[in-house]
Structure 1
């Protein structure tokens, strides 16, 4: 497979890890893959692949309307959101990291918009979080300056995701990218602290390759019906927690503001 470059869509193969510390310890890990798309460089063009498409059905596909506000072009939407939140210097590349649709179906528990300055420095990260109730919320991670590789970013939790966690406390994020020879490794770590301290540890790792027919075929056949499996795993883990008598909390009303920090 070809190594990725800074202007081509990428397919990343890696692993999702999740660990709950209390009141019952529960951990799992599984192989996964996701797309990383340089939105400014791509413009409106497709992927140039037979097995992976943009805005049309295929084994793997990416549909612009699944992201942003579902109406405006993606770059126009993210630029407007950043400007409204006081971020005016993220005028470099915008990398969107998300799972593709598989045979037309996708569910993204979280997608990341990595917003860079013209000099290449990471300026802000927008986390698009969705729950299984059809709701979504955006957490904007913005320090007011360039974000160093691997530095800790924080956001107060305001959005209900799991019925086994209260809406309280906050998230700690770390994002890392590293080149090793011809390969690029990415890692996103999310720790969740409730009122009693660290409760959940989650990470998503990936090894990036240029999106191609060979990569799309490998993804589709090595991880069959992956996006269907994401939803199935969410409900399976919920059942395990319920059977182990982990406290259950009713879903509160979603926050009025769609973007928080």
Structure 2
């Protein structure tokens, strides 16, 4: 199977106008969306759209439609002029005892021939809003280091304005994976975030070990977000007003083909 468990750490570093750094141990599941029914049938600790120690619910991703996230992602691929039908693998934290919050979930979208053709970055904020960025993968790039960029369209942190842009550096899933996100303004980098993780087989044993070594991870994520925000506020970070959510659920980044 292509699905797997990835364990590692995430590091956030705020560079200015004040400095702040955090590091957390985390794990995520890489789920091939076509393998979900087979995974739920094979694993005792993982269920699809129902309660378990670990579970995946389609309503937590995409448009939350009954057809599931694959239908949502393929619709976005068609809208971007890309070919549907290839493997789609989602990197995200599952629900743990019924709860999940993913600040960032990443879809690796493959062409029917197998090559990685696009990455969809699905961003959730703590205000209940969700926005995605679909960016084609340049075939000329090194497959082990995908560099992409886009303008920021949705308010995420109350301490950062909307007028910023993201730079992504991705090491696609293999024995290791890496996802780096830099948030820039007109003067340069403001926030750096990096996930580095190691592949593990997706089994009941590995899920149980992950639960024991990262207990109640998804609850800790949302608690950690608010704890770090409190520390930033105490350091004097300035709050920015929350603008309206984007009118469209997905921002399409068209590759520049100008010579």
- TM-score, with length taken from structure 2: 0.91
Q: Deviation of residue 50 (structure 1)? A: 1.3
Is residue 73 from structure 1 mapped to residue 68 from structure 2 by the alignment? yes
- The aligned residue for residue 30 of structure 1 is 24
- The aligned residue for residue 190 of structure 1 is 181
Tell me, which stretches of 5 or more residues in structure 2 are unaligned?
254-259
Does 7-16 or 19-28 show the bigger shift? 7-16
Distance in 2 separating the partners of 1:45 and 1:81: 25
Residue-by-residue CA offset, 1:157-200 (whole Å, 9 max, x unaligned)? 11100010000121000111475xxxx10110101101221001
Find the partner of 2:8 among 9, 14, 28. 14
Q: Deviation of residue 46 (structure 1)? A: 3.3
Is residue 46 from structure 1 mapped to residue 43 from structure 2 by the alignment? no
1:28-177 residue pairs with structure 2 within 5 A? 28-40=22-34, 42=35, 44-47=37-40, 48-71=42-65, 72-88=67-83, 90-143=84-137, 145=139, 148-177=143-172
Tell me, which stretches of 5 or more residues in structure 1 are unaligned?
1-6
- The aligned residue for residue 4 of structure 1 is none
Native 8 Å contact 2:14 2:21 kept in 1: yes
Native 8 Å contact 2:55 2:98 kept in 1: yes
Distance in 2 separating the partners of 1:240 and 1:144: 39
Is residue 218 from structure 1 mapped to residue 209 from structure 2 by the alignment? yes
Residue-by-residue CA offset, 1:39-73 (whole Å, 9 max, x unaligned)? 23x16333311122222211111112211222223
Distance in 1 separating the partners of 2:2 and 2:48: 14
Q: Deviation of residue 258 (structure 1)? A: 1.4
Distance in 1 separating the partners of 2:173 and 2:72: 29
Residue-by-residue CA offset, 1:106-127 (whole Å, 9 max, x unaligned)? 0010100100123332110011
Distance in 2 separating the partners of 1:149 and 1:118: 20
Native 8 Å contact 1:121 1:146 kept in 2: no
Residue-by-residue CA offset, 1:216-252 (whole Å, 9 max, x unaligned)? 1111111111100001111111111111111110111
- TM-score, with length taken from structure 1: 0.90
Structure 2 SS opposite 1:46: helix
- The aligned residue for residue 220 of structure 2 is 229
Distance in 2 separating the partners of 1:165 and 1:65: 28
